[in-house]
Amino acid sequence: MTLAGKKVLIAGGSGFLGTNLALRLADLGARLRLTIHRNPLQAAFPGAEVLEVDLRRPEDCARATEGMDAVFICSAHTSGAGVIRTTPLVHITPNVLINTLLLEAAYEARVGKVCFLSSGAAYPGTGDRPVTEAEMFEGDPEEVYFHAGWMKRYAEILCRTYAEKISNPMQTVVVRPSNVYGPYDKFDFAVSHVTAALLRRVVERQSPLEVWGTGDDIRDLIYVDDFVDGVIAAVATDLPFLAVNICAGRGYAVRQVLATLLEVDGFGDAQVTFDRSRPSTVPVRLMDNGLARALLGFEAQVPLAEGLRRTLAWYRANKAGH
């Protein structure tokens, strides 16, 4: 589906991924409807329709999806490693409701295509080997992600059900992101992911600069502009159902990410400490990008140093000191 001129709902229009996706779709000429809940929009979208709704309510989901050609489910309750470890159920009920009710409403509204943002954390552990799309249901998610992982998997099964298992099906796309970073991310230490937290600490010149865990955890990091490119490429396919990793296809240790940040930002004399008592999640999580390359012609283009440089510049212009 080509989105230029189409009526497109972005559920979760004030979030990190929703904001970046909306900016790109606005540039492409999509006619946007954005939902917000507790937080205001982070960017200006002239001409967009903005709905303040609670997507845990069926009537609000029906209102949001009415008349839309495409729906992007970016709305989610998310959090960092600390919250995941201490209160894992915070992810479950609201997200199951949002995903289930939005899919049902989109189907009732005869939406042409729905894109659901899943998570690489839903995969079973594969050690230091990149995980492929076919492996999603070959074991439980890693223990720390068990709750949130199965919540995402349930929504994936619903997407496949609407696309393949009923009469009058609805096309659906499941995008499985790796660790996305960039402008409009969450930089609040209580809920931020590791890259955003490290970037803020570097900008604030914290001394000592504390890193949670050992610094040896390895993640696939993808800059948000690349990620949005991958999402749009996935939605452009004409398959009834597609589940695809959108990732960089290579891993970086937290230490490498920090070292790159320090170099890019000229913070050469940082006093770095590692707090091994702080929560982390799994030592290695890597994702295979072969299907996206072969099927979508998609490959991430922005090197880590350049992505961090752009994010640092955006953070200083929009967040630091505000």
Give pLDDT tens digits for 254-272. 999 999 999 999 999 999 9
Write out pLDDT tens, residues 158-181: 999 999 999 999 999 999 999 999
Cβ-contact 292, 230 below 8 angstroms: yes
Give CA–CA dist 85/119, Å, rounded. Answer: 17
Predicted local distance difference test score (pLDDT) of residue 159: 98
Tell me the backbone φ, ψ of residue 284, rounded to 5 degrees: -140, 135
Displacement of CA 89 from its chain's centroid (Å): 19
| C-alpha torsion sign, points 19, 262, 121, 77 | negative
Predicted local distance difference test score (pLDDT) of residue 78: 62
Q: Give percent above pLDDT 90 in the chain.
A: 85
Write out pLDDT tens, residues 299-310: 999 999 999 999
Q: Which helix (H) or strand (E) covers residue 229, if one does? A: helix 224-235
The one-letter amino acid at 284: V
DSSP assigned state of 165: S
Taking residues 110-123, report their average pLDDT.
97
Give CA–CA dist 192/172, Å, rounded. Answer: 29
Give CA–CA dist 235/302, Å, rounded. Answer: 21
Instruction: Collapse the DSSP code of 310 into the 3-class scheme (helix H, G, I; strand E, B; otherwise coil) and give the result.
Output: helix
pLDDT at 282 over 90: no
Q: What is the mean pLDDT of the chain?
A: 94
- Sort strands 209-212 and 272-275 into parallel, antiparallel or unpaired: parallel
Predicted local distance difference test score (pLDDT) of residue 320: 72
For the domain made up of 7-181+221-249+286-301, give the CATH fold. Answer: Rossmann fold (3.40.50)
pLDDT band at 82 (very low <50, low <70, confident <90, very high): low
| C-alpha torsion sign, points 155, 159, 165, 168 | positive
pLDDT band at 276 (very low <50, low <70, confident <90, very high): confident
Return the beta strands (E) in the chain as ranges. 7-11, 31-36, 49-52, 70-73, 113-117, 171-177, 179-181, 209-212, 218-223, 241-246, 251-253, 272-275, 284-285
DSSP for 10-33, please give it. Answer: EESTTSHHHHHHHHHHHHHT-EEE
Give CA–CA dist 76/91, Å, rounded. Answer: 8
Taking residues 108-113, report their average pLDDT.
98
Write out pLDDT tens, residues 129-143: 999 999 999 999 999
Predicted local distance difference test score (pLDDT) of residue 85: 67
DSSP assigned state of 85: H
- Rg of the chain, C-alpha, whole Å: 19
- Sort strands 179-181 and 209-212 into parallel, antiparallel or unpaired: unpaired
pTM: 0.95
Q: Which residues of 167-193 are buried (b: 16+ CB within 10 A; e: fewer)?
A: eeebbbbbbbbbbbbbbbbbbeeeebb
Write out pLDDT tens, residues 198-235: 999 999 999 999 998 899 999 999 999 999 999 999 99
